[in-house]
Amino acid sequence: MSSLSTILINSNNLSGEIPAELGNMENLVSLASYENQLSGPIPPSFGNLVSMNVMLLFSNDLSGPLPPSLFNLTNLADIELDQNQFNGPLPDLCRGKKLQILHVHRNNLDGPIPKTFRDCGSLISISLGFNQIHGDITEAFGVYPHLQSISLQSNNLVGRLSPNIGSWRNLTALDFADNMIEGTIPAELGELENLVKLRLSSNRLAVEIPPEIGNLVNLNSMNFGNNQLSGQIPKQIGQLQNLDTLDLSNNQLDGPIPDEIGNGLRLRALQLGNNSLNASLPRTLGHLIYLQSMLDVSQNNFSGPIPSELGNLQMLMYVNLSHNQFGGAIPTSITSMQSLSVFDVSYNILEGPVPKGFHNASAKWFLHNKGLCGDLAGMSPCLTPAHHVQNRGKLIVEVSVPAVFVAISSMACFLAIWVCRKKSSQETNAVRKAGVFSVWSFDGKLAFEDIVNATDNFDEKHCIGEGAYGRVYKATLQDGHVVAVKKLHPDDEETHDEERFHKEIETLTKIRQRSIVKLYGFCCHPRYRFLVCQFIERGNLASILSNEDLASQFHWQRRTALIRDVAQAITYLHHDC
């Protein structure tokens, strides 16, 4: 045993403490015991493992402080201790200047970042997020020519962003969100041409967004929300043609939205709410035809008419223009937005009739305006000539109830796969995976980590339902977007039929019907297979009908509307899918 160099005992439901005798194996180079149920501390005797190169103990229940004797592991290149219960300070793990991967996120570590990290130029990936690490980061990091990913999110760090960041030329992901970092965003960030993900949200950053940010041509996600940024949105943001998500909400930005934002043709979520932006909305927003999950410009000082070009955004589901000074009439083109589920224009000075054609509209969307009228319950009716209504014995169905969307969605999703699978069996074209992933453009690795983090590795507390094929979890992503994640059962043979699985996914991506839950993306990771779908509030139909009070409110007019919606969804699946 003393000559043993590798131990691989991961993912075996092992429990108990790590034996101190392992520290006597001087020739041990690699130890992998991740995804078990190990508990207790790392023995101090591990400081004797001077040949150790790789230590993978993540996803266990280990606890206690990390032994200072780990300082002796001068050959250490990869240490991953994340998702445990470790506490105390982080020891110096880069004494040998060979450390490449340091993952200790989701523990209870505190204390400052070791000073020796500044000279650890071998680092490739740093993940310290979701701990209680504190201290000033202004001079904590040096020049890292190989660094690809760094995450310090959700700690207690202060200080300023160092211009040294500009030297991390291989960086693809930077996440410093949820700390207390202040000062400016350094212009040197614009030198990171490989950057894909940039999160600086929920800090104390001030002054203007540097125009050099427009040089990040590979950027997919940028979140500067919840800071104290001022000045105007730089027009150079229009150069970010790979940008999928842009969040500048909850700052002190002013001036107009630049017309150039319409050049970001891959944008799927745009959040600019709670600033001091003004002027009119640029008509170029109508160019963002792939905008899907959100357009939020609420709580600003916008004025003028609502651009009719917004009607071009056929994939957009959520629009919030509330708490501004928009005037005039709501353009009729808005009703052509087939995927729209929320269109909030409350607290403006709009007037005239609400266009007919909104599906499942709520009067709350239109409250507190100058003179809007319409047929919705709770709104003032428009003054029109009287007309006679024939067949008084028939029910007049107005709108369906958002509370029962989950029931409709689940049924329709199942039918979508069943009906359209019959059609796809008649086709011989190969599945184009690129088209499937275009449902929700993201970096796969980053999105997978975001989902796993948001569900605490699919913890029971996030589970909101279970069916024959998997369990459903509620997940709040880093950008604030809430989704439903259906994790498929690992023993389901159909989910492991790769060709069938991709055909079913491709079918779901083509669905565009208001009463059918929308698919955002999917994952084919070796550990998990899951679907990322639209999350609908307020439970399901069964819970309503089993509750006497709720059932009494669910009157026959609403039940008839529900039946109509289900029928329309089934018709769509049979004839339009």
pLDDT in tens, 525-543: 666 788 888 887 766 777 6
Binned at pLDDT 50, 70 and 90, residue 1 comes out as: low
Percent of the chain with pLDDT over 90: 62
pLDDT at residue 384 in the model: 54
Binned at pLDDT 50, 70 and 90, residue 576 comes out as: low
Percent of the chain with pLDDT over 70: 80
pLDDT in tens, 492-504: 555 456 666 676 6
What number does CATH give the domain 402-534? 3.30.200.20
Q: Edge-to-edge strand order for the sheet containing 463-466?
A: 463-466, 470-476, 482-488, 530-534, 519-523
Which of 145-149, 313-317, 547-551 shows the lowest per-residue confidence on average (mean pLDDT)?
547-551
What average pLDDT does this structure show over 49-67?
A: 97
pLDDT in tens, 116-137: 899 999 999 999 999 999 999 9
State yes or no: pLDDT of 432 exceeds 80: no
pLDDT at residue 441 in the model: 43
Binned at pLDDT 50, 70 and 90, residue 523 comes out as: confident
Q: Torsion-angle region of residue 351: left (phi > 0), alpha (psi -120 to 50) or beta?
A: beta
Q: Are 543 and 403 in contact (CB under 8 A)?
A: no
Residue 378: CB partners within 8 Å, gap ≥ 6? 363, 364
Q: Are 288 and 264 in contact (CB under 8 A)?
A: yes
Q: Are 302 and 280 in contact (CB under 8 A)?
A: yes
Tokens of 242: 């790979």
Tokens of 471: 């369990």
Q: Which helix (H) or strand (E) holds 79?
A: strand 78-80
pLDDT in tens, 5-31: 999 999 999 999 999 999 999 899 999
State yes or no: pLDDT of 404 exceeds 60: no
Residue 536: CB partners within 8 Å, gap ≥ 6? 402, 405, 406, 409, 484, 517
Paired residues of 38 in beta bridges: 16
* Whole-number average pLDDT of the chain: 84
pLDDT at residue 463 in the model: 87
State yes or no: pLDDT of 276 exceeds 90: yes
Radius of gyration of the chain (CA): 27
* 493 CB neighbour count, 10 Å cutoff: 8
Paired residues of 540 in beta bridges: none
CA pair distance 128, 140, nearest whole angstrom: 13
Give the residue with greater pLDDT, 420 vs 234: 234
Binned at pLDDT 50, 70 and 90, residue 368 comes out as: very high
State yes or no: pLDDT of 429 exceeds 80: no
Binned at pLDDT 50, 70 and 90, residue 577 comes out as: low
201 CA to centre of own chain? 14
Residue among 77, 69, 81 nearest 44 (CA):
69
Binding residues: 487
3-state secondary structure 299-356: CCEEEECCCHHHHHCCCCCEEECCCCEEEECCCHHHHHCCCCCEEECCCCEEEEECCC
CA pair distance 522, 437, nearest whole angstrom: 8
What average pLDDT does this structure show over 364-384?
A: 87
Residue whose token pair is 């589901």: 317
Binding residues for ATP: 487
State yes or no: pLDDT of 191 exceeds 90: yes
Residue among 401, 417, 418 nearest 563 (CA):
401
CA pair distance 115, 103, nearest whole angstrom: 17
pLDDT in tens, 277-308: 999 999 999 999 999 999 999 999 999 999 99
State yes or no: pLDDT of 373 exceeds 70: yes
What average pLDDT does this structure show over 86-111?
A: 96
